[in-house]
């Protein structure tokens, strides 16, 4: 019986699963009995987070892989790692990401190019690799983390917002293609407002009005609403119902107003 349970345990691959939104999703999925495959940059962080999570869930199976996901070839490396483990991935969550803020001429171009490789190139490749596997099996789900900034050009976060616009449009288009072909595989796009995690520190935005505003949500709220949307077969979700309603109103504004609103929230 034990071997059967292990065999049919759902397997979820989460990039950036050891912190922030990824860790909140991991806790929620652990409660559902998922096996977790984590990929993140820091090996020490992965091991510490795994130890903490297994205190709460002693039977939890967690496999970790330290990897720079902004490096060329990272997606193929991760895909081969999961193949070697021998666990078909039932749910892929492309969560890893970081930000860069400031006037475009004052930001570090190498930092921003690494961000683009992570948000665009690696996410694209991971989605392609695992989508192909899921289509062959006839089952699977993909969750791609975009951002509320995907909906409007965002002064002060110009490159970040543009990268998340790619994530949103790419993911929504693929989900439509899958539905059109009557495939059981689905892609969910998640567009959270600011979340207080290590993201703000790495983007040098800890003192930004954006991360101290009424729009801020917790990682746990993002995880809860994401899995609820996944269960309901949704294509896109903005975590927190109040913010969903606000978005319906704001999205009807002219683009120049949207840019003004985004700039105001950024303190620009």
Catalytic residues: 160
Residue by residue, DSSP assigns 142-159 as EEEE--GGGGS--TT-HH
How many whole angstroms separate alpha carbon 241 and alpha carbon 49?
29
Is the pLDDT assigned to residue 65 strictly greater than 50?
Answer: yes
Ordered by start, the domain boundaries in the chain are 2-266
First to last CA, the chain: 60
- In 3D space, the residue among 252, 193, 247 whose CA is nearest the CA of residue 225 turns out to be 193
Residue by residue, DSSP assigns 237-262 as E-SSHHHHHHHHHHTTS-HHHHHHHH
Question: What topology does CATH give the domain 2-266?
Answer: Rossmann fold (3.40.50)
How many whole angstroms separate alpha carbon 12 and alpha carbon 37?
6
Q: Quick: pLDDT tens for 141-188.
A: 999 999 998 988 888 999 999 999 999 999 999 999 999 999 999 999
Segment 176-203 mean pLDDT: 84
Mean pLDDT of the chain: 88
Q: Quick: pLDDT tens for 219-261.
A: 999 999 999 999 999 999 999 765 565 556 566 666 776 766 6
Q: Where are the alpha helices (DSSP H) in the chain?
A: 2-7, 20-31, 43-56, 74-85, 109-116, 123-137, 158-180, 198-202, 219-231, 241-250, 255-266
């Amino acid at each position: 019986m034990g071997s059967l349970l292990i065999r049919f345990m759902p397997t979820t691959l989460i990039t950036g699963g050891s912190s922030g939104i990824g860790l909140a999703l991991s806790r929620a999925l652990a409660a559902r009995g998922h096996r977790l495959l984590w990929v993140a940059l820091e090996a020490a962080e992965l091991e510490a987070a795994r130890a903490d999570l297994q205190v709460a869930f002693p039977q939890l199976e967690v496999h970790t892989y330290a990897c720079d996901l902004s490096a060329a070839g990272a997606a193929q490396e991760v895909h081969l790692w999961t193949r070697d483990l021998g666990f078909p991935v039932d749910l892929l969550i492309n969560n890893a990401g970081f930000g860069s803020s400031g006037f475009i001429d004052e930001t570090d171009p190498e930092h921003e190019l690494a961000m683009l490789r992570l948000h665009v190139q690696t996410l694209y490749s991971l989605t392609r690799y695992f989508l192909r596997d899921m289509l062959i099996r006839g089952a699977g789900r993909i969750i791609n983390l975009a951002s509320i900034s995907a909906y409007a050009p965002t002064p002060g976060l110009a490159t970040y917002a543009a990268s998340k616009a790619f994530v949103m449009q790419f993911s929504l288009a693929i989900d439509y293609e899958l539905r059109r072909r009557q495939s059981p595989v689905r892609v969910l796009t998640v567009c959270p407002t600011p979340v207080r995690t290590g993201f703000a520190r790495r983007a040098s935005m800890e003192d930004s009005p954006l991360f101290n505003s009424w729009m801020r949500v917790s990682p746990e709220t993002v995880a809860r609403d994401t899995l609820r949307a996944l269960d309901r077969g949704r294509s896109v979700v903005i975590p927190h119902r109040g913010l969903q309603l606000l978005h319906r109103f704001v999205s009807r504004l002219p683009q120049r107003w949207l840019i003004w609103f985004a700039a105001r929230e950024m303190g620009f």
